[in-house]
Amino acid sequence: MENIKLEIQDHIGILTISREKALNALNTNILKELGEAVETVQNNRDIRCLVITGEGSKAFVAGADIAEMLATDASEGVPFSELGSRVFLEIERLPVPVIAAVNGYALGGGCELALCCDIRIASENALFGTPEVGLGLIPGWGGTQRLARIVGLGMAKEMVFTGSSIHAAEALSIGLVNHVFPQDTLMDEALKKAKKIAGNAPIAVRNAKKAINEGMQCDMDSGLKIETEKFGLCFASRDAKKGMNAFLNREKGIEFDNQ
């Protein structure tokens, strides 16, 4: 992979979109590489949390590659949308939690990439937006769907219809991001949160993510059934016995085996 870096350390995957000169803009080739990296994470049970960020201090992902889209006709637009949507859905459905460390511009496809992550934290210079209508387009990689689910219908429509961008502080106030940190501490804070997640029982964390994500797609009764099923599955793990025994014996600092 030429434009995607994937490092693994202490059960944490760090995926960096590495196209700094182009502000990490996404094109077809980079989306395919991103899909390959996501598959690697999917198949590596040693990874318990994934952090996604962009290279440099200016951009997380500034958007899709406009030059490539300009050369795209109507028959090619649908496959291009399908490719990005599929890769982002694969990120959303990864069994492990995904943290977006948004270190600058997160516009268009960059905002959509952040939206498919479980937790979003941003640097103070981060900028979020869905400016596609100003180009004669609409968000095509999940933006019209995920944004409304996260910030509410009215705010999502305002952002999409106006194409306006918002700074990190406003993104925090509307629930688009969980936390805002200074640029120079962003990755440290992301890794600190990832380490906290990775230190918990991996099977329990995976089942919790499934229960939340699947439950959000159905009514309360169905969601509670999903939760009950995932709760029961946890009791089949050695980690559950280990965790409960440690609690009763007042043991601290235990390491879970992912079994």
132 is catalytic: yes
Query: Quick count: other Cβ atoms within 10 Å of Cβ 173?
Result: 11
* CA 91 – CA 112 distance, rounded (Å): 11
**Tokens (6 digits) for 152:** 């509410």
20, 112, 189, 214: the catalytic one is: 112
| Side chain identity, residue 71 | A
Instruction: Look up residue 81 and give its amino acid.
Output: S
Catalytic residue among 39, 82, 132, 251: 132
The two tokens of residue 161 are 């219809």
CB 116 within 8 A of CB 102: no
State how far the alpha carbon of 137 is from the alpha carbons of 52, 74, 77, in Å: 26, 11, 10
Q: Which residues are catalytic?
A: 112, 132
